[in-house]
Amino acid sequence: MHETDTATPGEAQAATHGYHENKADHLKRLRRIEGQIRGLQRMVEEDAYCIDVLTQVSAATKALQSVALKLLDEHLGHCVSNAIQGGGEDADEKIREASDAIARLVRS
């Protein structure tokens, strides 16, 4: 991903991250979710009807889950794949870590 060998440690690490290529897309989604959360604050301030507030909370939750699923897909396709190709303990560690993250998502 890097053409030069002057990469700082930070860059080198960043380059292995799955979501790196879709950073702009993730930021756009997260800004939209931030907008939804601010909209929720306005609704509560203006005493919007509870059910309407709940509908909007469900929408924001679903949007957050979509971000998580996209990040996870990219993580499997990059970080985890790279570790598996490298082999050894790092591969096991990456899989265990991904499984734990999936469990947190499923249970949240």
User: What CA–CA distance (Å, rounded) separates 18 from 103?
Assistant: 19
Binding to a copy of itself by residue 77, rule CB under 8 A? yes
CB neighbour list of residue 10: distance below 8 Å, 6 or more residues apart: none
- The owner of tokens 């560690």 is 93
What track of x and - describes contact with a copy of itself for positions 27 through 56 (by CB under 8 A)? x--xx-xx--xx-xx--xx-x-xxx-xxx-
Distance from C-alpha of 58 to C-alpha of 66, rounded to nearest angstrom: 12
User: How many amino acids of this chain bind a copy of itself (CB under 8 A)?
Assistant: 66
Amino acid residing at 63: A
Angstrom distance (rounded) from CA 24 to CA 36: 18
84 is a contact residue toward a copy of itself (CB under 8 A): yes
Contact set with a copy of itself (CB under 8 A)? 1, 10, 13-14, 17-20, 23, 26-27, 30-31, 33-34, 37-38, 40-41, 44-45, 47, 49-51, 53-55, 57-58, 60-62, 64-65, 67-69, 71-77, 79-81, 84-85, 87, 91-92, 95-99, 101-108
